[in-house]
Chain A
């Protein structure tokens, strides 16, 4: 099955770009996702990328996929205090029949 790894913490200054990284093991993952979780809340789907794409941009968010290295990243431009949250990388293999496999999440800490 899928295994997804993320670093646990990232600290950035307000206004800088944040880059959150993720590695995955299952090359058959069809879709790769980024979710955001604020304290005490559920998961918010931020964006996702289909496995045959290299990059996807959506306003301040840029997703890069390196299939060869099985590496996924999420770049948040002009990071704001409201971006403070836990960010989860997730993969769907088996056409989603096995549910999503999540990383442990990266805590994004914004310094003023």
Chain B
């Protein structure tokens, strides 16, 4: 069974630009979670999508947004990029919320 996949693996952007990150969940999973792993800050919860709806978000500004498509894949958009947005962005999927399986992540570098 294929695991969670994320694309691209690496993304380099300039301050002020927009970044789009993509995630495909494990087949049959309806929930997608996004996390940010920034140096020194650890892993922080960003967003939760379930059945196409945003269900909850962590303590991040509105320029972090996303959506979930009918096939349950998800997209994370980060607008007006700042240097401190440089991090590993991890996506996780679950069927029920007690087990979250993570993808390999997208490394975003903002210069």
- Write the residues of chain A forming the contact surface with B, with a CB cutoff of 8 angstroms: 30-31, 33, 35, 41-45, 48, 88, 90, 92, 95-105
Contacts and interface: CB of A to CB of B under 8 A. Distances in A.
Contacts of A98: 45, 56, 58
Contacts of A33: 100
A31 B45 contact: no
Interface string B69-111: 0000000000000000000001010100111111111000000
Main secondary structure of the interface of A (DSSP, over half): strand
Interface of B: 4, 6, 33, 35, 42-43, 45-46, 48, 55-56, 58, 90, 92, 94, 97-105
Contact of B98 (A31, A41, A102, A104): A31
29 contacts: A30-B98, A41-B104, A42-B6, A42-B103, A42-B104, A42-B105, A43-B90, A43-B92, A44-B102, A45-B99, A45-B101, A45-B102, A48-B98, A92-B98, A95-B97, A96-B98, A97-B48, A97-B97, A98-B56, A98-B58, A99-B33, A99-B48, A100-B33, A100-B35, A100-B43, A101-B45, A102-B43, A103-B42, A104-B42
